[in-house]
Structure 1
Amino acid sequence: MVDTVAINNKFALDARMGPSFQTTVIALMGGYEDRNQDWQVALWRYDVSLNHRPLSEIRAFLSHILGRRGAANSFPLRDPLDNTLTDENIGTGDGVTAAFQIKKTYSDSDRPYVRPITIVSNLVVKVAGVTKTVTTHYTQTDGVITFTGGNIPTAGQAITVSCDWLVRVRYMADYNPISLPIGPDTATPFASAGPFTLMEVLR
């Protein structure tokens, strides 16, 4: 279960981020390689440092670490680069399938990548361009839209969504250091934290 406490947007400043795969590479004779893609879904990694911030921000960061019990509990993060969908196509009806995963497709001429989205808000669902009503026409749980009886999209109908979304992450380590380069009794006290890493998790 993911906690509801989202990390402060200011923590995204100065972040280094990107998708992470896991691939097993075995060297073969003659310089060839055997490569096995261990993860079919990439997990995003965020490397963050809070440099020279007001003490109030560092104290908020400390409270957040304690609330999550270090690396034990996941929480939602707003990716500063990628956090909305607008009329994103998530499937096509066939008259039978009722459940559709909210997802974002990253275009690539050889290997398009589909990223599942599980934490959403301000959701708008359309079938063949017609906006549907939550509970009446569909329900949504963990990013899966399930159409109710009598409202399953028929063959050829496009299902599209617009929404804001968050990434489920956890602290990679239980220890995330804080430093005080200028003491709290000075005229303009500030502190720093990190670097620390947030890693996307599936649950």
Structure 2
Amino acid sequence: MNFHEERLPARLAFGSTGGVERRTEVVTLGSGHERRSTPWAHGRRRYLIGAGLRSLDDMAALTAFFEARRGRLYGFRFRDFADFKSCAPGAAAAATDQTIGTGDGATTAFQLVKDYGGLVREIRKPVAGSVRLAVDGVETEAFEVDAATGMVTLDAAPAAGAVVTAGFEFDTPVRFDADRIEVTLETFEAGRMAAAPLIEVRV
């Protein structure tokens, strides 16, 4: 897979803008009523970064990161500061934040997910060391996490009907959405960078 398990340094994301994009197809009937549908099961996130950078050192660091990803070729981790936890951004992640499955007495592996009011998003890029897990409300450390896939594996299968929950921090997998990055020199020690677009990738 064309993906690097490396996160964009936080200081290079200051001043970033972005959010969730959805695709909705709207057909207006002769009566004026509408039929709306979507080919996307989940939203896709887009961001603009770099426009707030002024230090030539930071611009050089972003350029180096861009080059290391070969422009649009390789994906990477990005922390969306508006949505990077299993809970609200200002709260601390708890082991009971998100329900990730129900035990059946045999299954030990569960995918990390986050529930957005009924829409469940799979979390594929958890932050290493941030995942907490509980079975029927009792926190446990008897599990392993694959930080590249977001799959949690317990040492023993939860009993049938036992609710498995998790709390965690996570990154959004993205890639650059342009093969060009531009910097303008304004003084000998400062400059201006055109915003570089990022787009979420499915992994």
TM-score bracket relative to the smaller structure: 0.7 to 0.9
1:104 paired with 2:114, answer: yes
Shift of 1:97: 3.8
1:117 paired with 2:123, answer: yes
Task: Write the distance in 2 (CA, Å) between the matches of 1:132 and 1:4.
Answer: 24
Q: Residues 26-69 of structure 1: CA distance to partner in whole angstroms, max 9, x if unpaired? A: 23222222222111011111122433511110000100110111
Change (3 A) 1:51 1:28: same
Deviates more, 1:28-37 or 1:138-147: 138-147
Question: Tell me, what secondary structure is at the counterpart of 1:4?
Answer: strand
Whether the aligned pair in 1 keeps the contact of 2:46 and 2:200 (CA below 8 Å) is: yes
Shift of 1:80: 1.2
Whether the aligned pair in 2 keeps the contact of 1:48 and 1:195 (CA below 8 Å) is: yes
Q: Residues 3-38 of structure 1: CA distance to partner in whole angstroms, max 9, x if unpaired? A: 122111123222222111122222322222222211
Matches within 5 A, 1:23-102: 23-85=24-86, 86=93, 87=95, 88=97, 89-102=99-112
Question: Tell me, what secondary structure is at the counterpart of 1:30?
Answer: coil
Name 1:166's counterpart in structure 2: 171
Change (3 A) 1:81 1:52: closer
For 2:141, the aligned partner's letter is K
Name 1:176's counterpart in structure 2: 181
Q: Residues 99-140 of structure 1: CA distance to partner in whole angstroms, max 9, x if unpaired? A: 321011123xxxx22221111121222222130323xxx553
Structure 2: 5+ residue stretches without partners: 87-92
Whether the aligned pair in 2 keeps the contact of 1:118 and 1:143 (CA below 8 Å) is: yes
Name 2:150's counterpart in structure 1: 143
The structure that has the greater radius of gyration is 1
Matches within 5 A, 1:118-133: 118-120=124-126, 121-122=128-129, 123-128=131-136, 129-133=138-142
Structure 1: 5+ residue stretches without partners: none
Task: Write the distance in 2 (CA, Å) between the matches of 1:158 and 1:27.
Answer: 44
Name 2:191's counterpart in structure 1: 191
Whether the aligned pair in 1 keeps the contact of 2:8 and 2:76 (CA below 8 Å) is: yes
Whether the aligned pair in 2 keeps the contact of 1:51 and 1:191 (CA below 8 Å) is: no
Whether the aligned pair in 2 keeps the contact of 1:6 and 1:76 (CA below 8 Å) is: yes
Whether the aligned pair in 1 keeps the contact of 2:14 and 2:52 (CA below 8 Å) is: no
Name 1:157's counterpart in structure 2: 162
Judging by fraction of residues, say which structure has more strand. 1
For 1:190, the aligned partner's letter is A
Identity of aligned residues (%): 28
Shift of 1:75: 0.2
Q: Aligned Cα RMSD in Å? A: 1.9
Whether the aligned pair in 2 keeps the contact of 1:22 and 1:38 (CA below 8 Å) is: yes
Whether the aligned pair in 2 keeps the contact of 1:77 and 1:169 (CA below 8 Å) is: yes
